[in-house]
Amino acid sequence: MSVHDVPRGAAAPAASGRRSRGTALVRLATRHPVGALGAAVVATLVLVAAFAGYLSPVDPNAQVGARLSPPSVDHLLGLDQLGRDVLSRLIFGARVSLLVSATSVGLSLLVGGGLGLIAGYHGGAADQGIMRAMDLMFTVPSFVLAIALTGILGPSLPNVIVAIAIVTTPTIARVARAPALTVRETEFVSNARAAGAGDLRILWRHVLPNVAGPIIVQVTACIADAILIEAGLSFLGLGVQPPYASWGNMLGTGRSYIGLATGLSVFPGAAIMLAVLGFNFAGDGLRDMLDPRWRRT
Amino acid sequence: MGKRGEANVWQPGTARGVTRRQWLKLAGAAALLGAGARSRAAWGATAPAPKRGGTLNWAEVDDPISLDPHNRINDSATVLERMLYQNFTRLNPRTMAVEPSLAMKWEYTKSTELVWTLRPGVQFHNGRAFTAEDAKWSVDRSLDPKTANPFASWYAAIDKTEVVSRYVVRMTLKQPDPTLPGKFATNRVIGFAPADVDPKTLASKPVGTGPYRLAEWVPNDHVILVRNERYWERGLPYIDTLNVKFITQEDTRIAGLSAGAIDFSIMSADGAKRLAGNANLKFVRGVNGVFTVIKMNKRFAPFRDKRVRQAMDLSVDRQEIIDKALGGAGVITGPVVYGWEDYGIPPQQLPFKVDLDRARKLMAEAGYANGFAVTGISLPEGHPSAFYPSLAVAADNWKRIGITVKVQQLELGAWLNKNNTLDYDMFIGNRGFRGDPIDVLYPFYHPKGSDNPLGYANSQVQRWIEQAMVEPDRIKRRNLYLAIQRQVLADVPWIFLWAPVQIDAMQKHVMGYDHVPFDSFKDLMWTTWLDK
Amino acid sequence: MRAFLARRLIATVATGLAVSVLVFLLIRLAPGDAVTMWIGQEGTMTPEVRDTLRKMFGLSDPVAVQYLHWLGDAARGDLGYSFRSRLPVVALLGTALPVTLELAALAMLLAIVTALPLGVFSAVKHGTPADATARLLGLLGFSMPSFWLAVLMILASATYFKWLPALIYVGLAKNPIENLKQMLMPAVSLGLPLMAVLMRMTRSTMLDVLGQDYVRTARAKGAGESAVLARHALKNALIPVVTVMGIQLGRLLGGAVIIEQIFGVPGVGTALVAAITQRDYPMVQATVLALGLLFIAVQFFVDISYAAIDPRVRYG
């Protein structure tokens, strides 16, 4: 981003906003097939999570047969170490994993994104204060937080969500701050300021569009990351509590059966990878769609 | 236990108390049908002559944290401390009977006076001779409240310890306690160290009389033990160096065994199955004296009704729990695990059975025909304790009589906190092997016991416990222990689930090792040798 | 510049203090204390012994008093003794910290030397199958939980190659070759997700920069492609990359906790998990503080490097 650069938000043709959504989708699918694929994966996962109760063949916690049974017609992905249906657990696991990652990242986007923009745009004491606070949040390891939160909140889903949100917030803040820092030095922003535009308006109209690309990439990465952090917490025995296991949970216990019932780790592992890839691809697509250069061509 | 004068020192190849051992073996084998071979080298006279020397790469699970022999704070320290330290007595690693160690004999000169005669000619790792002064100092330090020995309460009867002569120690007791020699034998708590060392250094620089001495310790990574050339049992141990590496993850230990980097490691049943195809490995199995139980709190009204507890007991399928939670590596157990001398009830005599009709009838009689819902506290699902799957299977069983158990998984500290403050309705945990069966029976089933959340009180049981505590005759005492256990089983204050079968995986060239009941001790490591 | 440094130094000390207060409180909020863990579930410890222990550890004082005691000692360089092993915390950290630093540095090095070229390559070949392949590889690395990758790696190495490095950890100074053998698998599994993030970031910012007017101008002026990439594009693309690297160090240290356990590496991760599980407060406080200061120091260098890369950034 050089001083010669024309801020992209301002350069985007006004007409583009009036295009119908349907056209945009078709355009996305044809121009950015990977992004469309990612979006499709995310949409599918959301649907699976929403309708888990209808889709899952049996109760995910019921012990329905012999432990470590291989995949069969009755149980397409086999049974786990307690004789629970792996497919049903994966389907309900989608709900838990998506809920945890989306909520925690949503939280950190609101807090971290906002603070990062303010820090970068205002600079000075606000910047110092906010960024040192972010360092502070980043410094305490997530599993220390998770254990401590268990003490305060009792063992519950919000624990895990808050612990992950606290870890991802500074990431988003830092990513939002760096471009904001550069943008505020541009002639364009100083011109806008000289023309009497308020801070909020400048932030919204001129800064935000310029930092949206990196933030969106970071948010999709963070959602993916949140799924992985949750898996790590599960590995340490601090993950999501029942009634339903998360994918991370299943992977954490399933890895003890590699060689005996390898599917127990491969299926949740594949689900995690699929979701992570889906979010990242969708992020790429979004990033390009928001990029005026891409829209122009 | 009384007087056992003669030095019946165990040697490689001796096989005492084979009936119980055979049962323990059979239990292990039956529980793990067709899964791997088992070393027979430690048994009988057919064993080949041991070779000396070599290095054993041994994977343990956790760092010992502290090797202070007077305030053992960590289970993981026990195995290594038993390589380094000894005291008056020890348990015969095959029969679990109490036998002489650094004391050659002992005698109750009256019911409140115990006189120990020590073994002459024993040297510490630093070359200094072991005498009565060291024994007295070690006992005194272990029982000093400032040392904060968590097990000091086992020795509450000791009033004072005095040196009579260079090799004679006299203990004066506040009240009769015929079980003291056995409590020293378990050696979870008191090891003898030289009276002239700085006690602060013992935690990291242990000095004892054991068959191995510490050469190096990098916390959270490894300990290197080397053969004690001054060891008083001539000819032992066989292996020169024990490299003990701490690896928490079983996957990593499995990898190490497959690659040949690890010679010896503890293994779960499923881990052993993963390694079963490896022709270079063999497995030794045996029962551990730790029993897993579901505890019930009187604060939850339905549990106060004996009929409810009986109904729960009658609807738990213990074999299903052992199969699912442990991959088969467990045995059913009563209040004292069978195999500890002759104190436990043999499994075939345990009264457990599944009888759903009777269970439902009892629930109806108690006024809970429609069942109830309760929360059970457990460690997390992946924890090696297997508490979560055990409780999950039991919960699945109890659905059949209308009881819904919501299982709450807590992190270790939170779980312990619930246990120690009795803040739960239902709880799954385990209780370890202790100095004497009385230390298992009193705290749990005496109305004044410290670990009795149900407030279990049976006046007959209480009388028997109090009698047993002062009964000098071992056989009479054992009969009281058995009577207590039978009554406890009938009253169902706890749901007894299982005792684990420990599996040790090792390379084929590791010879002479055998399982020591009851607390995953590795005493037979002293007579283990390497055939390569 | 001097004023900036002074302000940052003050801010760093303030952050360090805040970290110490936060950790001090957080670890005490976790249920149970060192004595709880010491008691275990067997309940054989008498109440008198529990009191003795709590007094000995200073746990019976109010938290504020405990903190001031600790702070006073820490200011003199005395971080206290581990509640559990009774060994000095400074000594325990002194053996564990270099191990983790080496692991993190190796992981980062591996990530940088693979991610930067791949990212640039991918951006230059934007839209080609080569770009797609590189991105897919990167994403696979990113999407795989690192502990799963670690477990698969160690099992595969043992099963198919019958090879594992020496069991007992060897220091870098003692035997560099053996040490690097031991660190290879942990560093790869730890560095792979970082590599993927860096590669994505490099590619994304390179694409931005390559589309800029001044790059087009440079090209139009006839500058060679590699000169354009090196002099104009890469330099400008580095800001977000450096930012992400700074942030990822924190993630790296977090990931090390699990990776160290799997490979049996005696670093701070292993020590920290043990200390937290056992509620060994002095150990937890010292470890988190050390990691925190390290992280803050890295952030400081990241901020300085912005200016080095992009002169338009003023010290705020």
pLDDT digits (tens, 9 = 90+) for B218-245: 888 999 999 999 999 988 999 999 999 9
Tell me which of B273-277, B516-520, C84-88, C312-316 is least confident: C312-316
Distance CA C316, CA C310 (A): 14
Q: Is the pLDDT of residue B325 over 90?
A: yes
| Average pLDDT of the residues of chain B | 87
> In chain B, pLDDT over 70 holds for what percent of residues?
90
Selected for mutation to probe chain A from C63, C135, C148 (highest A CB count within 10 Å) is C148
**Of C41, C87, C167, which is closest to B261 when you measure between CB atoms?**
C167
Q: Is the pLDDT of residue B299 over 70?
A: yes
Selected for mutation to probe chain B from C90, C146, C151, C168 (highest B CB count within 10 Å) is C168
**Of A83, A237, A242, which is closest to B383 when you measure between CB atoms?**
A237
Q: ipTM, 2 decimals?
A: 0.85
The conformational region for residue B127 under phi > 0 = left, psi -120 to 50 = alpha, else beta, is left
CB-based contact (8 Å) between C52 and chain B?
Answer: yes
pLDDT by residue (tens digit) across C232-250? 677 777 777 777 777 777 7
CA distance B172 to chain A (A): 46
For the four alpha carbons of B225, B230, B231 and B236, in that order, the dihedral sign comes to positive
Higher pLDDT: A151 or C200? It is C200
Question: Under an 8 A CB cutoff, do A4 and C214 touch?
Answer: yes
Interface of B with C in 418-447 (CB under 8 A): 419-420, 429-432, 434, 439, 443
Higher pLDDT: B501 or A281? It is B501
Q: Is the pLDDT of residue B5 over 60?
A: no
**Of C43, C84, C261, which is closest to B249 when you measure between CB atoms?**
C261
CB-based contact (8 Å) between B26 and chain C?
Answer: no
Residues of C in contact with B57 (CB under 8 A): 167
pTM for the model: 0.86
| Percent of chain C as helix, strand, coil, to the nearest 5 | 75, 0, 20
The DSSP symbol for B129 reads B
> Confidence band (pLDDT; 50, 70, 90) for A2?
very low
Contact (CB, 8 A) for C185 and C153: yes
> Confidence band (pLDDT; 50, 70, 90) for B187?
low
Q: What pLDDT score does B509 carry?
A: 96
Distance CA B264, CA B254 (A): 10
CB-based contact (8 Å) between C163 and chain B?
Answer: yes
Interface of C with A in 198-227 (CB under 8 A): 200-201, 204-205, 208, 211-214
**Of A138, A252, A276, which is closest to C250 when you measure between CB atoms?**
A138
Q: Is the pLDDT of residue C211 over 80?
A: no
Q: What pLDDT score does B109 carry?
A: 95
**Following DSSP, what letter does each residue of B10-62 receive, concatenated?**
--TT---SHHHHHHHHHHHHHHTTT------TTSSTTSPPPPP--EEEEEESS
Higher pLDDT: A250 or B48? It is A250
Distance CA B465, CA C229 (A): 86
Q: Is the pLDDT of residue C129 over 80?
A: yes
Average confidence (pLDDT) over C124-150: 84
Q: Is the pLDDT of residue B36 over 70?
A: no
Q: What pLDDT score does B282 carry?
A: 96
Residues of C in contact with B429 (CB under 8 A): 41
Residues of B in contact with A147 (CB under 8 A): 411, 413
Average confidence (pLDDT) over B38-56: 64
Higher pLDDT: B480 or B413? It is B480
Residue type at position C72: G
CA distance B412 to chain C (A): 7
Which structure tokens are listed for B45?
């006279």
> Confidence band (pLDDT; 50, 70, 90) for B22?
very low
> Confidence band (pLDDT; 50, 70, 90) for B188?
low
CA distance B422 to chain A (A): 17
With CA atoms as reference, the chain A residue closest to C31 would be A151
Contact (CB, 8 A) for B356 and B297: no
> Confidence band (pLDDT; 50, 70, 90) for B382?
confident
Q: Is the pLDDT of residue A209 over 70?
A: yes
Select from C270, C199, B31, B169 the least CA-distant residue to A143. Answer: C270
Q: Is the pLDDT of residue B305 over 80?
A: yes
Average confidence (pLDDT) over B462-485: 95
Q: Is B433 helix (H, G, I), strand (E, B) or coil?
A: coil
CB-based contact (8 Å) between A132 and chain C?
Answer: yes
Q: Is the pLDDT of residue B335 over 70?
A: yes
